[in-house]
Chains A and B, each alone.
Chain A
């Protein structure tokens, strides 16, 4: 079964606005990752947050992790039309090699 569940399923905003996507999961994790997928192409790794971290930043991206609630959020600030894509969270339960379990994804549309 899917480990991660994102919400919302779809999000439509204007350029310059912030976009927040949420992810919930069911079992304990080693780390949680966020990926972007443009138009059914390959996924691009965005950011990884470890289970002992609470917040992480990378450029316009901010990720939070609450292990007590088994949830994470991805914030994209000052969005651009080029941010239009599907965003997936993926959980890694192992401390060894990474077998990822992907959530259902949020489709983000940023309008100029």
Chain B
């Protein structure tokens, strides 16, 4: 299984600012995903990060609010833009590869917006 790291592990941010979260994998993977987990809730898929092209966003999530980059097969970033307290969540990246159905998750980034 892949080893996934995320930076930062946690942050406290002011309303109206932006935060970029990094996800690094120790091996090349086919698919990378970004999820949001609001307090006490389940995981909701934000988008699929596509290498070399624009991310594929799920209903209710837009590129202006959550721009995503994936410059290569081992790295991706998620930016939470113009933050409000409602963006306070854990943000998780996950990965999988061709032929696999299970996903491997990073440790998450706990974001608090004040």
Contacts and interface: CB of A to CB of B under 8 A. Distances in A.
Do the two chains belong together in a single complex?
A: yes
Interface of A: 2, 30-31, 33, 35, 40-45, 48, 88, 92, 97-105
B47 to A, nearest CB: 10
Interface of B: 1, 4, 30-31, 33, 37, 41-45, 48, 90, 92, 94, 96, 98, 100-108, 110
Contacts, number: 56
13 contacts: A31-B101, A33-B101, A33-B102, A41-B107, A42-B105, A43-B43, A43-B103, A45-B102, A97-B31, A97-B96, A97-B98, A98-B101, A102-B44
Contacts of A45: 1, 102-104
Nearest to A45: B102
A77 to B, nearest CB: 22
A101 B35 CA distance: 11
Question: Which 6 pairs show the lowest CB-CB distances between chains A and B?
Answer: A42-B105, A43-B105, A45-B102, A102-B43, A42-B107, A98-B101
Given A88-B42, A88-B43, A103-B42, A44 B105 contact: yes
A43 B42 contact: no
Given A30-B101, A33-B101, A99 B48 contact: yes
